[in-house]
Amino acid sequence: MKFFAIASLSCLFTIHSVHANDFLDELTALANGRIAEVASSSEVVAAVKSQNETTGSYDQAKIDSLDKTWRSETDAADQPMIDMVLDNPLSAYLADVQEGSDGLFTEIFVMDGKGLNVGQSDVTSDYWQGDEAKWKDTFLVGKGAVHVSDLEEDESTQTLQSQVSVPVVDPDTGAAIGAVTFGVNVEGL
């Protein structure tokens, strides 16, 4: 019986890996096209630069405290920190981009130079993304970096999606100043 369970897990992993690789070319092209355009928009660049001026001096204790507050608000009736981010002009811009994608984009969020949310189309489960590959493999690598996550099934929509991330680059210096992540419904490619 143990052999069957191991064989079944191996089979699932192989199927999952094949599906993830099946969309890699299309997701990379999307990252270098439409997603890069949004990442380099004046709305995104200006908002990230502005937030970096505030958060650039934050230490890990401050970041952890903010993330803890955010996480506590995700299930609360009163959400002042989340509302402040969702109600900002960048979040409105990202919501418009998502809405105009005809279901291709399931979420969009922008992170600053510390990995903290700057704007988002929907609420994220946490405020600090700086410990995750979506930020590390883009912001820390710099211009031209692309991170494509494994495929996951979205339980609420029953669609297959992948997160695609690229750095936000300062057009004046060419340096990475943040990152952006798009949830992509691969069935819409």
- Domains of the chain, with CATH numbers? 2-188 (3.30.450.20)
Q: What is the pTM of this model?
A: 0.88
Using alpha carbons, select from 97, 100, 103 the residue that is nearest to residue 121: 97
- Judge whether 134 and 140 are in contact, CB under 8 Å: no
CA dist 43 and 45 (Å) reads 6
pLDDT tens, the chain, 189 aa long: 333 333 333 333 333 343 446 899 999 999 999 999 999 999 999 999 999 999 999 999 999 999 999 999 999 999 999 999 999 999 999 999 999 999 999 999 999 999 999 999 999 999 999 999 999 999 999 999 999 999 988 776 678 899 999 999 999 999 999 999 999 999 999
**Spatial distance between the Cα atoms of 177 and 135, rounded to a whole number of angstroms:** 11
Q: Who's near 48: CB < 8 A, 6+ residues apart?
A: 110, 112, 113, 118, 168, 177, 178
